[in-house]
């Protein structure tokens, strides 16, 4: 219990109305079950404590401990529900403001290893205010001193530098910006402009996680948190740093997976006379196996493909890369026959990935003749968008690759009119809507039919309109969900 004991007067957290700090009402609410202060009981630091019954002092001290622990429990419970770095930083700022009795603040995410990501979040501060604070010389600002001073803070323990834990610096309190010694004049100027008179900065760092950033809270009047509040914010800060470290690992893993996925896909779309291409691709946080391809073929032909490999993560990405590379080879050899291309791909998948399935659609296009021959394996049908029609291409039902002993399905031929756009997409576009399959298809059709006439000459504008209409909230890469691929081909 000693590690959780509050420092200072035991009645601070049990008073019916929290004390004011720097002229601001404390935002730390007293829990409804907290014991009220007993009449006539002096502070624990009073010399007359010895005259009081021991049970009274113990009861009051226990009530203070319970109140502090309850507050920390509620704040940490709220923090662990956050699942992104920015959301977590905002929660840390709000909880910290309640604990130290401040109204405004800012948090800076700047990992010491320099690998990013970096971010600056404000509480009660506009974007311009954050920019103004950042004009203060880094060595004069309290958060800047914490960020830059961590490697040299305190004697480092012995041992190899690669395994030596980082030393955590102490928080920095500036009780009065106007009278504090050693501050840069620019610091005082910015404080006067923004209307704050004091600050309290806390490192977001632990010996295990290292330095991740710093948070600073701003007071409207000269002040600093008392010892009890320092103790509470210190406990909360250590917990918050470990939570931020976990979110940082997840974010870095997501970025790496997204980078690998992008590298496995075409870096640019080919230029083929008679057709214009555009693509929109978003990868989920775990990295799915959705892919697309567009490759020029002999005699001015063009091969278009979209597909999806079952599973997520690195193994799905590796399988996706192998299938895409194989399909390109099959398309060059026998692209005129999409059924043969997918049959070869199915055989390869069954021999090399027996526990995995995949959907795929391959189209052999001759832009000069505006002719397309396509075949699909368990894949959603393409959508033709033009001035006079918006309709799905009628394809036969077929099983995904790897599901049957021998895959087989007939091909379909279509002739898009001049100015029409053919949309190829993966199932993730439909599943991201959260609707049942039939309703998702209906929404996709309505989105394509509502493309403005002025945008229909640009396949990229067509794709963007469909995405905005179908997914009005956009595609947050940090939110769990299917990959999305939308490949648009406009025929001249």
Buried b (16+ CB within 10 A) or exposed e, 369-378: ebebbbbbbb
Choice between 391 and 288, residue whose per-residue pLDDT is larger: 391
Domain boundary among 255, 281, 310: 255
Mean pLDDT value across the chain: 83
Query: Which of 9-13, 120-124, 203-207, 400-404 has the weakest average pLDDT?
Result: 9-13
Please check whether residue 160 lies inside any domain of the structure: no
Residues 202 and 328 in one domain: no
Residues 224 and 188 in one domain: yes
Q: What percentage of the chain reaches a pLDDT higher than 70? A: 82
Predicted pLDDT of residue 480: 61
pLDDT in tens, 120-158: 999 999 999 999 999 999 888 888 889 887 443 333 344
Domain boundary among 221, 255, 289: 255
Choice between 54 and 110, residue whose per-residue pLDDT is larger: 110
CATH (domain of 402): 3.60.40.10
Residues 385 and 241 in one domain: no
Residues 348 and 390 in one domain: yes
Domain boundary among 235, 255, 275: 255
Please check whether residue 90 lies inside any domain of the structure: yes
Structural domains in the chain (count): 2
Say whether pLDDT at 364 is over 90: yes
Which pTM does this prediction carry? 0.66
CB 120 within 8 A of CB 245: no
Please check whether residue 120 lies inside any domain of the structure: yes
Please check whether residue 316 lies inside any domain of the structure: yes
Please check whether residue 477 lies inside any domain of the structure: yes
Residues 181 and 94 in one domain: yes
Please check whether residue 280 lies inside any domain of the structure: yes
Report, as an integer, the average pLDDT of 401-428.
89
Predicted pLDDT of residue 48: 47
Report, as an integer, the average pLDDT of 264-280.
92
Please check whether residue 159 lies inside any domain of the structure: no
Residues 270 and 236 in one domain: no
Predicted pLDDT of residue 326: 93
Report, as an integer, the average pLDDT of 221-249.
95
Residues 227 and 290 in one domain: no
Predicted pLDDT of residue 182: 86
Residues 239 and 326 in one domain: no
Say whether pLDDT at 100 is over 80: yes
pLDDT in tens, 308-355: 998 877 788 888 889 999 999 999 999 899 999 999 999 888 888 888
Please check whether residue 462 lies inside any domain of the structure: yes
Say whether pLDDT at 27 is over 60: no
Residues 335 and 229 in one domain: no
Q: What percentage of the chain reaches a pLDDT higher than 90? A: 58
> Which domain does 111 fall in, by range?
2-153+165-255
CATH (domain of 89): 3.30.450.40
């Amino acid at each position: 219990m000693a590690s959780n004991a509050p420092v200072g007067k035991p009645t601070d957290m049990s008073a019916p109305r929290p004390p004011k700090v720097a002229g601001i009402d404390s935002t730390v609410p007293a829990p409804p079950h907290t014991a009220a202060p007993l009449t006539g009981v002096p502070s624990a630091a009073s010399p007359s404590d010895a005259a009081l019954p021991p049970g009274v002092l113990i009861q009051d001290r226990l009530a203070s401990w319970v109140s502090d622990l309850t507050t920390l429990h509620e704040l940490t419970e709220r923090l662990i529900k956050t699942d992104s770095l920015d959301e977590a930083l905002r929660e840390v700022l709000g909880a910290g403001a309640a604990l130290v009795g401040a109204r405004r603040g800012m948090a800076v995410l700047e990992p010491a290893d320099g690998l990013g990501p970096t971010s600056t979040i404000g509480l009660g501060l506009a974007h311009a205010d954050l920019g103004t604070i950042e004009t203060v010389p880094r060595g004069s600002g309290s958060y800047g001193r914490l960020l830059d001073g961590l490697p040299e803070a305190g004697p480092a323990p012995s041992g190899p530098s690669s395994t030596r834990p980082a030393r955590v610096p102490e928080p920095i309190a500036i009780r009065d910006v106007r009278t504090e010694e050693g501050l840069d004049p620019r610091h005082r100027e910015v404080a006067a402009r923004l209307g704050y008179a004091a600050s309290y900065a806390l490192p977001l760092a632990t010996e295990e996680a290292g330095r991740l950033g710093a948070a600073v809270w701003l007071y409207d009047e000269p002040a600093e948190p008392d010892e009890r509040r320092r103790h509470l914010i210190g406990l909360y800060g250590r917990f918050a740093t470990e939570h931020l470290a976990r979110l940082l690992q997840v974010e870095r893993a997501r970025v790496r997976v997204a980078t690998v996925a992008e590298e496995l896909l075409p870096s640019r779309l080919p230029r083929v006379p008679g057709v214009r291409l555009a693509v929109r691709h978003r990868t989920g946080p775990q990295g799915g196996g959705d892919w697309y391809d567009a490759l020029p073929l002999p005699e001015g032909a063009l091969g278009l493909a979209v597909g999806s490999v079952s599973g997520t993560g690195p193994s799905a990405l590796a399988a996706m890369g192998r299938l895409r590379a194989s399909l390109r080879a099959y398309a060059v050899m026998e692209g005129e026959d999409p059924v043969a291309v997918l049959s070869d791909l199915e055989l390869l998948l069954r021999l090399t990935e027996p526990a995995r399935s995949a959907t795929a659609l391959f189209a052999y296009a001759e832009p000069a003749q505006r002719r397309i021959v396509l075949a699909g394996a368990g894949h959603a049908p393409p959508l033709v968008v033009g001035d006079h029609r918006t309709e799905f291409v009628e394809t036969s039902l077929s099983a995904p690759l790897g599901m049957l002993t021998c895959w087989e399905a007939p091909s379909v031929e279509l002739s898009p009119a001049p100015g029409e756009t053919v949309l190829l997409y993966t199932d993730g576009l439909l599943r991201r809507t959260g609707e049942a399959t039939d309703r998702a298809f209906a929404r996709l059709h309505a989105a394509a039919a509502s493309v403005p006439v002025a945008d229909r000459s640009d396949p990229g504008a067509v794709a963007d309109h469909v995405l905005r209409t179908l997914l009005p909230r956009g595609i947050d890469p940090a939110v769990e969900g299917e990959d999305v691929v939308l490949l648009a081909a406009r025929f001249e």
